[in-house]
Amino acid sequence: MRPSAQSTSTTAPGRRSRRPGAWLGWLFAAPAVVVYATFVLRPLLLTIQYSLYDWDGIGPSTWVGLANYGRLFTDRDLLDPILHAFELIVFFSFVPVILGLLVASTIRRIAESRLALVARTVLFLPQVIPLVAAGIMWSWLLSSTGLVNEILRAVGLGGLTRAWLGDFGTALPAVGVIGAWVLVGLCTLLLLAGMSKIDAALYEAARLDGAGPVREFFSITLPGLRQELGVAVTVTMIAALASFDVIYVSTQGGPGNATMVPGLEIYYLAFSERKVGVASALAVALMVLVLACILPIQRFTRDGNR
């Protein structure tokens, strides 16, 4: 019994000595925790609370329970923006990631040349340009008298010209092209950084075995980029689901509601139509939708690195 008593007497002071250090760590983290709770958790909880009421933002509110959430599935004007956001995922996420893979693979092969440095700089420029400026610039390019239509006329394809952002059939894909242009540089640099971590000896061994560029890509490059691909898909998918600024500047959700997305619909509902409860319900649904799309990707990336 004495050894256990001795053990207790030796460990107890050690535990007491670690307590000040633990409290000191929380003390350093306290400012960040307070800021996070004030500007993230509190607005989130208030949004959930508002979504349960019928409120114009000024006068008295009326409890409606989950009725605002029910409108998301029955009101076409609220459901269409969510469907448009899923369509934008193709342009904002899949296209930039696929193009980024191809461009990054090409740049890796010419990494020592001056052309590789120029290509990285040019591709990353859209990330430096403010999205509002990008939306204005592309609005000019895609107008009925813009550069895109002028090029089509110059090559004899004048029959294809149109106001790309003002046509019901092409407005949403045109906005998607803007998003793809903005994000392809970011995806390229992310994937290029991942390729730089792959052991060059693997490529040399593959060449000795007679593997060509395509076989190297699918057998070495792609498996080695699991984590970077997860980050790229996560960032671009969030950009698609939460898109606002480019669409607000270029189309404002038009023509009609052809390019209306959840972020823009929330803005109009809350500040133009004074339907704070419905806007809050749509905001909460958008948050759940983002988490439902992103968490499986993160889990797949994490499991692949074990």
Helices and strands in the chain: count of H runs, count of E runs: 16, 2
pLDDT confidence tier of residue 2, bands split at 50, 70 and 90: very low
pLDDT confidence tier of residue 181, bands split at 50, 70 and 90: very high
pTM for this model (two decimals)? 0.85
Confidence (pLDDT) at 19? 59
Query: Rg of the chain over CA atoms, in angstroms?
Result: 26
pLDDT confidence tier of residue 248, bands split at 50, 70 and 90: very high
Give the CA angle between residues 159, 163, 165 to the nearest 5°. Answer: 135
Residue 170 token pair: 């092409």
Confidence (pLDDT) at 211? 82
Write the class of the CATH domain 80-304. mainly alpha
Confidence (pLDDT) at 5? 46
- Please give the Cα distance from 300 to 227 (Å, whole number): 9
DSSP codes of every residue in 44-73: HHHHHHHTTEE--SSS--EE-TTHHHHHHH
Could you identify the residue written with the tokens 């040399």? 204
Confidence (pLDDT) at 7? 45
Can the peptide bond before residue 60 be classed as cis, meaning omega within 30 degrees of 0? no
pLDDT at residue 20 tops 80:
no
**pLDDT, tens only, 103-128:** 998 888 877 677 777 888 888 888 88
Could you identify the residue written with the tokens 């030796």? 10
What's the rounded mean pLDDT across residues 29-49?
94
pLDDT at residue 13 tops 60:
no
- Please give the Cα distance from 167 to 174 (Å, whole number): 10
What's the rounded mean pLDDT across residues 127-134?
88
To the nearest whole percent, how much of the chain has pLDDT over 70? 91
- Residue-averaged pLDDT of the chain: 87
pLDDT at residue 305 tops 90:
no
Confidence (pLDDT) at 4? 47
Residues facing 62 on adjacent strands = 54
Q: Is 306 helix (H, G, I), strand (E, B) or coil?
A: coil
Q: Where are the domains of the chain?
A: 80-304
Query: What is the number of other CB atoms lying within 10 angstroms of the CB of residue 79?
Result: 13
Interhelix angle 226-241/76-89, nearest 10 degrees: 150
What's the rounded mean pLDDT across residues 251-264?
93
Query: What is the number of other CB atoms lying within 10 angstroms of the CB of residue 275?
Result: 20
Confidence (pLDDT) at 303? 67
